[in-house]
Structure 1
Amino acid sequence: MTLPTLFIPHGGGPCFFMDPNGGPPDPMWRPMQAYLAGLIDSLPERPKAILLVSGHWEEDHVTVHTGNGQLLLFDYHGFPEHTYRLRWDAPGSPEVAARAKTLLEGVGFPVGEEHARGWDHGVFIPMMVAVPGADIPLVQLSLRKDLDPAAHIAIGKALAPLRDEGVLIVGSGMSFHNLRARGPQVTPVADEWDAVLVDAVTDPDPARRAERVAAWDKLPHAHFAHPREEHLLPLMVALGAGGEGPAVAEYRDHVMGWAVSGFRFG
């Protein structure tokens, strides 16, 4: 069974867990929470492991996390004290990490290894919703600091064999990420950006799709939507790993005045 690949929104900080008594999040975040909560059941089979690329980890070379049983890296600021005591105790998978490293090196990418860094909130916040039992091993993969879109699509292509090995490849970011632009006045431009992004990402021709998404910064409103593109680059990895299969925009909603989309490939 070949698993699809996903690009998911990870929300804002600990947005799904702001109630210390475990109540539901702000209504604005509930559709996104519901989408994330249904991800695993939507797959053709339960993955044996997850390989996740977060918009919150960059290294000079693409780097695999080889640790097992990571602490969490609370890389958000200004939230209630209890949100710095969240737990998500899934195991790592050094075996999947080694396999990813081999695949990437096989096509010429230098690959670093890391074993001590905690999982950042681009990992544990969406995964606490998607895998609340913390019972699927997870390996985190970094972005490259150069944020080269074509290179990240190629990284995804190199990792595609993992899909036939029971590994779910996930890009975790946000399709719109401009923290200085929030509120209803942003929505018309955010909607226009989302429409052109979705059109490029879901192009039925896989080669043309990759070309259009690699040239994301030529799309209307690109640099307004992403003053810096680290939250968009996980999409490139998911798209590259998705191969020749279809691309579908399977989630869309508005948060903070932003139009936010999620995608499935393959």
Structure 2
Amino acid sequence: MTTPTTNSRLPTYFISHGGGPWPWMKKEMGNAYTRLEASLADMPRQIGRKPRAILMVSAHWEEPAFTVQANPKPPMIYDYGGFPAHTYQVHYDAPGAPDLALRVKQLIEGAGLPAAIDAERGFDHGAFSPMAAIYPDAEVPMVQLSLRRGLDPAEHVALGRALAPLRDEDVLIIGSGLSYHNLRNFGPQAHGVSKAFDDWLEEAVVEGAPAKRAEQLANWATAPSARAAHPREEHLIPLMVAVGAAEAEEGVRVYHEDAFMGGLVVSSYRFGAAANA
């Protein structure tokens, strides 16, 4: 395989995937997701070309070993509750990519990390909801990769390092979660704690030196309002993978709101150069 030049290397992303099946609930949700949708829809412009495939690391899949989805035609996993009936019939019919799944497994094992294949797994909403905004025609093949139980931040940074060669193979790596995820404190009353954590996150991944990011993120739980923002960190850990895969490269905030859902401060990030910044 010929390695492309650095200028053609794809960036990585840590994005908010929003709540449940929000792209199919615009009537019910009004303008709540307008800014998030716009930021997701702008990603193809930023990268400047259609990637060969997407590797999606979703907050909604955890396994004992890093597990790669190898289903050539992934079904839908409606992993949410209490939404309108029509949202349990939606489809995002992107093809899978079993060849990429095997490549991902090889890279993970080559780094000394545990890896497995799941030939049956479908797309969860951490994958299909944002992708409905990024590539609404579902024409780009997509493979999901699980988090590893225990949610060790340093281990997930190491996972990102192992996956970094995929960026030179025209695979777009996306970590899908949310920079604030405390469903018991969601709304205007959470503005202060979400802002405190978001300010720290901005300093750690954008303003600080890239060489120090991994260490700062490994100690994320000591950040201001860290456990108020993430009582359980599965929605933050995909960030570690995106950072690890672009460890020495610049971080840029590509989405920010200071009153999401009435008061939350939330952000998404890109790591590495974009063709059209």
Q: How does the TM-score come out when normalised to structure 1?
A: 0.96
Q: How far off its partner does 1:28 sit?
A: 1.6
d(CA) in 2 for partners of 1:203 and 1:5?
17
Residue 105 of structure 1 aligns with which residue?
Answer: 109
The reply on whether 1:4 has 2:4 as its aligned counterpart is no
d(CA) in 1 for partners of 2:62 and 2:85?
27
Contact 1:16 1:25 in 2 (8 A): no
Residue 260 of structure 2 aligns with which residue?
Answer: 255
What secondary structure does 1:220 align onto? coil
In structure 2, stretches of 5+ residues that fail to align are 1-7, 273-277
Alignment of 1:54-203 (within 5 A): 54-203=58-207
d(CA) in 1 for partners of 2:87 and 2:133?
14
Q: How far off its partner does 1:205 sit?
A: 2.1
Contact 2:57 2:176 in 1 (8 A): yes
Q: How far off its partner does 1:35 sit?
A: 0.8
1:229 aligned partner, one-letter code: E
Indicate the percent of aligned positions where both proteins have the same amino acid.
50
What secondary structure does 1:55 align onto? strand
Q: How far off its partner does 1:25 sit?
A: 4.5
Q: How far off its partner does 1:243 sit?
A: 2.5
Q: How far off its partner does 1:185 sit?
A: 1.7
Q: How far off its partner does 1:203 sit?
A: 4.2
Residue 34 of structure 2 aligns with which residue?
Answer: 30
What secondary structure does 1:28 align onto? coil
Residue 234 of structure 1 aligns with which residue?
Answer: 238
d(CA) in 2 for partners of 1:228 and 1:249?
23
What secondary structure does 1:157 align onto? helix
Off by >3 Å, runs of 4+ in structure 1: none
In structure 1, stretches of 5+ residues that fail to align are none
d(CA) in 2 for partners of 1:189 and 1:223?
9
Aligned length: 263
Q: How far off its partner does 1:124 sit?
A: 0.4
What secondary structure does 1:13 align onto? coil
d(CA) in 2 for partners of 1:40 and 1:115?
28
Q: How does the TM-score come out when normalised to structure 2?
A: 0.92
d(CA) in 2 for partners of 1:83 and 1:27?
18
Residue 264 of structure 1 aligns with which residue?
Answer: 270
Q: Residues 199-248 of structure 1: CA distance to partner in whole angstroms, max 9, x if unpaired? A: 11124422211100111101010000000000000000000001311111
Q: How far off its partner does 1:14 sit?
A: 1.2
The reply on whether 1:211 has 2:218 as its aligned counterpart is no
What secondary structure does 1:242 align onto? coil
The RMSD of aligned alpha carbons is 1.2
Contact 1:3 1:45 in 2 (8 A): no
Residue 243 of structure 1 aligns with which residue?
Answer: 247
What secondary structure does 1:129 align onto? helix
d(CA) in 2 for partners of 1:25 and 1:186?
20
Residue 16 of structure 1 aligns with which residue?
Answer: 23
Q: Residues 17-52 of structure 1: CA distance to partner in whole angstroms, max 9, x if unpaired? A: 115xxx594212110011111111211322110000
Match of 1:46 among 39, 47, 50: 50
Q: Residues 178-211 of structure 1: CA distance to partner in whole angstroms, max 9, x if unpaired? A: 0000221211221111001111112442221110
Contact 1:17 1:25 in 2 (8 A): no
Contact 2:255 2:267 in 1 (8 A): yes
Contact 1:174 1:260 in 2 (8 A): yes
